[in-house]
């Protein structure tokens, strides 16, 4: 992610899983705010706890442990937002799997 001169965050293709899930979280937050929803409201619509949703939006389950949301979870969030799951996902073109 890069801040532009206008302070807007632009998302570039992720180069690591950590970066990918952070970018996913940025997109989830943007969509949630555009829909005028709180984290709690969106979590409820998706059938999740607020804490679980927060972890996905933040991009981390625990300190230094990147999120790894299931496809089912992402579909539930997408449906709650009224979008296709593919609209939420960052580009995977540059992810390097250094594990």
The angle subtended at Cα 72 by Cα 60 and Cα 75, nearest 5°, is 90
Cβ atoms of 78 and 88 closer than 8 Å: yes
What pLDDT shows up at residue 99?
Answer: 56
What pLDDT shows up at residue 64?
Answer: 80
pLDDT of 47-62, one tens digit each? 999 999 999 999 998 8
Chain length of the chain: 99
Sign of the four-CA dihedral 25, 55, 17, 19: positive
> What is the mean pLDDT of the segment spanning 6-32?
77
Higher pLDDT, 47 or 93: 47
What pLDDT shows up at residue 15?
Answer: 65
4: pLDDT strictly greater than 90: no
Superfamily of domain 12-86 in the CATH hierarchy? lambda repressor-like DNA-binding domains (1.10.260.40)
Q: Answer yes or no: pTM beyond 0.75.
A: yes
- Regarding beta strands 9-10 and 60-62, do their DSSP bridges make them parallel or antiparallel, or are they unpaired? unpaired
Higher pLDDT, 92 or 5: 92
Residues 6+ apart with CB under 8 A from 71: 85
81: pLDDT strictly greater than 80: yes
* Sequence spans of domains, the chain: 12-86
DSSP, collapsed to helix, strand or coil, labels residue 41 as helix
pLDDT of 5-15, one tens digit each? 444 444 455 56
């Amino acid at each position: 992610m890069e801040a532009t001169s206008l302070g807007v965050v632009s998302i570039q293709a992720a180069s690591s899983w950590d970066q990918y899930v952070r970018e996913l979280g940025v997109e989830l937050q943007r969509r949630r705010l555009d829909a005028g929803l709180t984290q709690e409201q969106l979590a409820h619509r998706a059938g999740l706890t607020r804490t679980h949703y927060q972890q996905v939006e933040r991009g981390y389950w625990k300190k230094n442990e990147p999120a790894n949301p299931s496809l089912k979870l992402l579909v539930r969030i997408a449906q709650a937002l009224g979008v296709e799951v593919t609209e939420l996902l960052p580009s995977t073109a540059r992810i390097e799997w250094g594990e």
